[in-house]
Amino acid sequence: MDAVNQPLVVKHLGHQTYEPVWHAMQKFTDERDDQTPDELWLVEHPPVFTQGLAGKAEHILAAGDIPVIQVDRGGQVTYHGPGQIVAYPLINLRRHGIGVKSLVYGIEQAIIDTIGLYGITAKRLDNAPGVYVNGAKMASLGLRIRKACSFHGLAFNINMDLEPFQRINPCGFSGLEVIQLADMASDVNLATVEQQLIAAFCQQLNFTAAN
């Protein structure tokens, strides 16, 4: 299958608790075949910490009343909450003709391009997946590949309560500053940023969005 401008089914899930969406991603990946269209799920989760496969308990400093869920993605602990765009690309990498590194690069570049629309320069950091502005983290990334297909994805801080990030070492880095788009730009609307991110994702990874 030609990797150029393949259809991508975009699903807006709204506000959903974490675990049912996680298990739905697993089920979708396990049951898909070579004819199953690729999908991009967008969701906002209630407050939750998720601990990746490499996660160490000492990076959770004081979870308090926020649940901690052990999950099957790469990476360390992160936080999801309202006002954050969480996007899960469910991509058949083999069929689409890309590897994991290309997927990670494309996701990060889509976020960088989206942030750039607001006059802000964002960057990658070596050996620290995600997107950063002046060394502070605005978006995190954690993926799982099964049967050459991706699930889990990215979390992009838009306009949220950042306090829970102080209860953890974000992504395993002690003292890492976490920021959000609304604190650096005016007129930030989550739904608008979501559409901008979808467009940038499709441009970077050669998809055409279909709802």
Q: Which of 108, 5, 90 is nearest to 43 (CA)?
A: 90
CA atoms of 100 and 19, how far apart (whole Å): 24
Q: Is 62 annotated as a binding residue?
A: no
Q: Is 155 annotated as a binding residue?
A: yes
Q: Is 75 annotated as a binding residue?
A: yes
Catalytic position from the list 98, 131, 171, 182: 171
Task: Yes or no: say if 46 and 60 are a contact pair by the CB < 8 Å rule.
Answer: no
CA atoms of 87 and 123, how far apart (whole Å): 19
Q: Is 50 annotated as a binding residue?
A: no
Please, which residues bridge with residue 136 across strands? 133
Amino acid identity of 21? V
Q: Is 141 annotated as a binding residue?
A: yes
Q: Is 45 annotated as a binding residue?
A: no
Judge whether 202 counts as a catalytic residue: no
Task: Yes or no: say if 165 and 66 are a contact pair by the CB < 8 Å rule.
Answer: no
Q: Is 14 annotated as a binding residue?
A: no
Q: Is 130 annotated as a binding residue?
A: no
CA distances from 180 to 21, 67, 69 (A): 24, 22, 23
> Residue 85 corresponds to which tokens in the numbers above?
């765009």
CA atoms of 84 and 159, how far apart (whole Å): 7
Q: Is 77 annotated as a binding residue?
A: yes
Distance of CA 92 to the CA centre of its chain: 17
As annotated, the binding site includes 73-80, 140-142, 153-155
So which residues are the catalytic ones?
171
As annotated, the binding site for substrate includes 73-80, 140-142, 153-155
